[in-house]
Chains A and B, each alone.
Chain A
């Protein structure tokens, strides 16, 4: 009896042993066979460290070889993840050798606690600090000095609006363009990241190199900017508080592009103090705004060119159709004045452009309607970004029925068409759009678009109406011979252009004809001038905008004249 039951128990224990052994084998099977891939990945993640190898960012050059954005060599002090003891020892050794503020030390300790794989102790070592550390390098653990680059802009005030600036990704130390061409052509300038795979042990110490993929440096960008012209234009514009200017040729290549006020891109690319940032971001003149591409204003009288083109093409008027200007016309119970309260008398399209007669354009705008104006404005490049290689370009605004309805829920009124006909009201355009309009008119090519990079082949499929074009070209030349710009632009080589002064507020009775220099700066008219020269064999387009400059003829046109003189005659 006993032996029998004890036998049973013995067999029970034996089978129990077998059962547990099988469970062990099954457990092992699951770990090693079923989940093998998962754990292999974990094990590789443990032992392999991927370090990014940074490519050198491409430089930016002007057409004549001037470097406007480059890389400045620097030394970075880096600490890899290490034990608490090593960390404090390193920090002790470093104190006195390099300058670190209390805040820096605190943030480093914070970073250490977050178990980052490595941290940058100091981004830019001075030469003295570099020497100090190198001398006692053997005393440190897990510390290395890395070669790095910071972005430098040799002439920041002149070129900042073109180059833009970069910001540095702290973890990767990779620079990314934040505005201007640095942002627009970021990929090209950056190149491709390389990587270095190293095997590390549990303390993060490198055991051996596994593989290395070299980075590809970014390409150098050569722009169409002429550095001498750019500096000259910048000098001219600097006399004013705020404004913009763009110079391009008839291929659409931009030779100079200036926006005032400017800023120091070096400051934004590097470490800047809070006060410095405040001085830029809180400035009431918004120095970070590119007034050529990123600010849209009512284009004013310049827009009359588009309206005239539309009316001539649609056959509403011909070159000799006249309209009587008596200083204003009545519409919807309001009187809409011409800028010349005395009136221009009978004017045809040539005279209307020459003297910038508002009544003429009120009339023809009413005749062709807003939809037609918008259609032609689009052909000339208004209402859409021009595609210039500067980040942050805006499209402006071409108002029409649906826009009005969506925005205000009301219908479009005829007087709004009239105001749009003289480039005012809700209509908004950037300066570069106006420059493009002129370039399209004189190159007779609706496919032209502005660019900062050399044009190889110029697309020209959509041609303008040559008959109408020649009427307008001649009329714009008359502007500079006997019209609004005659005072400043009557030159032997010939300029054709259009002035524009757009109001920034509704005129009151007592202000009519008041001297613009006498009123407060922010209430002065915006001054515009777009012009081409030499006429009739046109090479250059210049668009000038002076914010609250007063009048286009008085302020903007003389600047354009000086630029044309510089370009064509070579007068400095």
Chain B
């Protein structure tokens, strides 16, 4: 591992920094409003998390990507074992068990798995030559590496994260040249199998889907979240009700207003314009990630950038789609903005990796 020689070469990352400042600013405002405009300790905690996130990002940005390349498989195996431990403990304790208490902080392995999966996929594909790419056997390992943790996560049960893992993994595999004909056959089989998956779902997950299809089915029970969220967003109008004036969130009609429904809280107060701003900002970051990937000459960096971009996009898309009622509620936070440490760490680390790619991508030697 070598320490960076020229720190002033952060040309491309300046854009990312600007975008991050904007989105984190919105995040602070949104959280401040979601806590009813009071300067309470959770707000301080959120600020602290942002600070820690920035420090983490800088730290990762300063690391050598060779390290991440070497470390990828180990990271993946470590996280996978953690997931298995969670699964076993969950089986003993019954009910949802998503984290391991490490006495100092609680670790949510499913969250780490997102990064571990992207890194190990990037490493795996970067080692293949052009000729092998058309063979199905090349893609079997990545497919397995994607599906196995997804199943474990789904058993926690955490449908949202499982979907994210599958989506990210499949997208990367598709980008790296998964044979088209097999893809066609697989998608047909999948379409046929989809109805069967109904029986694999937990009762609460089925209820969520039914509620999504018909929110009025149980307006005070299961349908309550989505109904109140739609009312809050819809009542915002073009310019919103004004900062700190959102009635749905202030009067607690909106549940989970800090975490999964933070987008609702903000769009109620800032209206369609506020919503557009957030979407544009987050999608800009996604495209920034893709752009860095494009610029990168090194395969590992390239694939990692693509993977992280897809990860970020899926979070954004699923979260917003679910709060505006285009998708069932699956419990996915909005990147950078939702309250909660794990998601903040994941995405700030991704940014750190991206900045690191800017610095090293161009002269990263394929033969390490």
Q: Could you list which residues of chain A lie within 8 angstroms of chain B, going by C-beta atoms?
A: 1-2, 5-6, 9-10, 13-14, 17, 20-21, 23-25, 27-29, 31-33, 35-36, 38-40, 42-44, 46-47, 115, 199-203, 207
Interface string of B113-136 (1 = CB under 8 A from A): 000000000000000001001000
Q: Compute how far the CA of A6 lies from the CA of B276 in the bound complex, rounded to whole angstroms.
A: 31
User: Inside 8 A of B130's CB, which chain A residues have their CB?
Assistant: 1-2
**B320 CB–A CB distance under 8 Å:** yes
On whether the beta carbons of A202 and B253 are closer than 8 Å, the reply is: yes
Nearest opposing residue in chain A for B239, CB measure: A32
On whether the beta carbons of A24 and B320 are closer than 8 Å, the reply is: yes
- Cross-interface CB contact of B238 among A32, A115, A207, cutoff 8 Å: A32
On whether the beta carbons of A25 and B276 are closer than 8 Å, the reply is: yes
Nearest opposing residue in chain A for B236, CB measure: A32
When A39-B230, A39-B231, A43-B235 are in contact, do A32 and B267 touch as well, CB less than 8 Å? Answer: yes
**B200 CB–A CB distance under 8 Å:** no
When A24-B317, A40-B234, A200-B251 are in contact, do A32 and B175 touch as well, CB less than 8 Å? Answer: no
User: Inside 8 A of B324's CB, which chain A residues have their CB?
Assistant: 24, 27-28, 31
Q: Compute how far the CA of A2 lies from the CA of B267 in the bound complex, rounded to whole angstroms.
A: 44
**B77 CB–A CB distance under 8 Å:** no
User: Inside 8 A of B286's CB, which chain A residues have their CB?
Assistant: 17
Q: Compute how far the CA of A42 lies from the CA of B229 in the bound complex, rounded to whole angstroms.
A: 11
Beyond the given A31-B233, A46-B231, please list 15 additional residue pairs across the A-B interface where CB-CB is below 8 A: A10-B175, A14-B287, A17-B283, A17-B286, A24-B326, A28-B233, A28-B324, A31-B230, A36-B236, A39-B230, A39-B233, A42-B231, A43-B248, A46-B251, A47-B253
On whether the beta carbons of B171 and A13 are closer than 8 Å, the reply is: yes
Nearest opposing residue in chain B for A38, CB measure: B234
**B174 CB–A CB distance under 8 Å:** yes
Nearest opposing residue in chain B for A42, CB measure: B231
Q: 21 A-B pairs, CB-CB below 8 angstroms?
A: A9-B175, A10-B294, A13-B171, A13-B174, A14-B290, A17-B313, A20-B313, A21-B279, A24-B279, A27-B326, A28-B267, A29-B272, A32-B234, A33-B237, A36-B234, A36-B235, A40-B234, A43-B234, A47-B253, A201-B251, A201-B252
**B34 CB–A CB distance under 8 Å:** no
User: Inside 8 A of A43's CB, which chain B residues have their CB?
Assistant: 231-232, 234-235, 247-248, 253
Enumerate the 3 nearest inter-chain pairs by beta-carbon distance, A residue then B residue, closest first: A39-B234, A43-B235, A201-B251
- In the complex, what's the smallest C-beta–C-beta distance from B41 to chain A, in angstroms? 22
Q: Compute how far the CA of A79 lies from the CA of B306 in the bound complex, rounded to whole angstroms.
A: 59
**B177 CB–A CB distance under 8 Å:** yes
Q: Compute how far the CA of A434 lies from the CA of B267 in the bound complex, rounded to whole angstroms.
A: 75
**B271 CB–A CB distance under 8 Å:** yes
Nearest opposing residue in chain A for B246, CB measure: A43
Q: Compute how far the CA of A441 lies from the CA of B142 in the bound complex, rounded to whole angstroms.
A: 111
Q: Compute how far the CA of A42 lies from the CA of B276 in the bound complex, rounded to whole angstroms.
A: 23
- In the complex, what's the smallest C-beta–C-beta distance from A33 to chain B, in angstroms? 6
Q: Compute how far the CA of A23 lies from the CA of B287 in the bound complex, rounded to whole angstroms.
A: 17
**B321 CB–A CB distance under 8 Å:** yes
- In the complex, what's the smallest C-beta–C-beta distance from B328 to chain A, in angstroms? 14
On whether the beta carbons of A2 and B177 are closer than 8 Å, the reply is: yes
Q: Compute how far the CA of A32 lies from the CA of B247 in the bound complex, rounded to whole angstroms.
A: 15
Interface string of B244-278 (1 = CB under 8 A from A): 00011001110000000000000100011001100
- In the complex, what's the smallest C-beta–C-beta distance from A86 to chain B, in angstroms? 16
Number of B residues contacting the other chain (C-beta, 8 Å)? 43
On whether the beta carbons of B133 and A207 are closer than 8 Å, the reply is: no
User: Inside 8 A of B272's CB, which chain A residues have their CB?
Assistant: 28-29, 32-33
Most chain A beta-carbon neighbours within 10 Å: one of B176, B234, B271: B234
- In the complex, what's the smallest C-beta–C-beta distance from B234 to chain A, in angstroms? 3
User: Inside 8 A of A203's CB, which chain B residues have their CB?
Assistant: 252
- Cross-interface CB contact of A9 among B177, B294, B325, cutoff 8 Å: B177
User: Inside 8 A of B247's CB, which chain A residues have their CB?
Assistant: 43, 46-47, 199
- In the complex, what's the smallest C-beta–C-beta distance from B154 to chain A, in angstroms? 23
Nearest opposing residue in chain B for A2, CB measure: B130
- In the complex, what's the smallest C-beta–C-beta distance from B117 to chain A, in angstroms? 17
User: Inside 8 A of A201's CB, which chain B residues have their CB?
Assistant: 251-253
**B329 CB–A CB distance under 8 Å:** no
Q: Compute how far the CA of A199 lies from the CA of B325 in the bound complex, rounded to whole angstroms.
A: 27
Most chain B beta-carbon neighbours within 10 Å: one of A10, A31, A36: A31
Interface string of B169-187 (1 = CB under 8 A from A): 0010011110000000000
When A6-B175, A31-B324, A43-B247 are in contact, do A20 and B252 touch as well, CB less than 8 Å? Answer: no
Q: Which of chain B's residues 133-182 have a Cβ closer than 8 Å to chain A?
A: 133, 171, 174-177
User: Inside 8 A of B317's CB, which chain A residues have their CB?
Assistant: 20-21, 24
When A6-B176, A43-B231 are in contact, do A32 and B237 touch as well, CB less than 8 Å? Answer: yes
Nearest opposing residue in chain A for B241, CB measure: A43
On whether the beta carbons of A5 and B235 are closer than 8 Å, the reply is: no
Nearest opposing residue in chain B for A28, CB measure: B275
- In the complex, what's the smallest C-beta–C-beta distance from A26 to chain B, in angstroms? 10
On whether the beta carbons of A23 and B283 are closer than 8 Å, the reply is: no
On whether the beta carbons of A40 and B279 are closer than 8 Å, the reply is: no
- In the complex, what's the smallest C-beta–C-beta distance from B263 to chain A, in angstroms? 9
Q: Compute how far the CA of A47 lies from the CA of B283 in the bound complex, rounded to whole angstroms.
A: 34
On whether the beta carbons of A24 and B290 are closer than 8 Å, the reply is: no
User: Inside 8 A of B171's CB, which chain A residues have their CB?
Assistant: 13
Q: Compute how far the CA of A46 lies from the CA of B235 in the bound complex, rounded to whole angstroms.
A: 11
**B310 CB–A CB distance under 8 Å:** yes
Most chain B beta-carbon neighbours within 10 Å: one of A9, A10, A39: A39
- In the complex, what's the smallest C-beta–C-beta distance from A77 to chain B, in angstroms? 26
Q: Compute how far the CA of A531 lies from the CA of B247 in the bound complex, rounded to whole angstroms.
A: 73
- Cross-interface CB contact of B235 among A23, A28, A29, A40, cutoff 8 Å: A40
Q: Which of chain B's residues 192-235 have a Cβ closer than 8 Å to chain A?
A: 220, 228, 230-235
Q: Compute how far the CA of A203 lies from the CA of B251 in the bound complex, rounded to whole angstroms.
A: 9
Nearest opposing residue in chain B for A207, CB measure: B251
On whether the beta carbons of B321 and A202 are closer than 8 Å, the reply is: no
Q: Compute how far the CA of A361 lies from the CA of B95 in the bound complex, rounded to whole angstroms.
A: 99
Nearest opposing residue in chain B for A202, CB measure: B252
- In the complex, what's the smallest C-beta–C-beta distance from B12 to chain A, in angstroms? 18
On whether the beta carbons of A40 and B237 are closer than 8 Å, the reply is: yes
User: Inside 8 A of B276's CB, which chain A residues have their CB?
Assistant: 25, 28
User: Inside 8 A of A5's CB, which chain B residues have their CB?
Assistant: 177
Interface string of B311-349 (1 = CB under 8 A from A): 001000100110011100000000000000000000000
- In the complex, what's the smallest C-beta–C-beta distance from A123 to chain B, in angstroms? 29
Q: Compute how far the CA of A10 lies from the CA of B267 in the bound complex, rounded to whole angstroms.
A: 32
User: Inside 8 A of A2's CB, which chain B residues have their CB?
Assistant: 130, 133, 177
When A43-B247, A202-B251 are in contact, do A13 and B234 touch as well, CB less than 8 Å? Answer: no
User: Inside 8 A of B220's CB, which chain A residues have their CB?
Assistant: 115
When A5-B177, A20-B317, A42-B231 are in contact, do A25 and B279 touch as well, CB less than 8 Å? Answer: yes
Q: Compute how far the CA of A10 lies from the CA of B306 in the bound complex, rounded to whole angstroms.
A: 9
User: Inside 8 A of B177's CB, which chain A residues have their CB?
Assistant: 2, 5-6, 9
Q: Which of chain B's residues 83-131 have a Cβ closer than 8 Å to chain A?
A: 130
Q: Compute how far the CA of A1 lies from the CA of B130 in the bound complex, rounded to whole angstroms.
A: 9
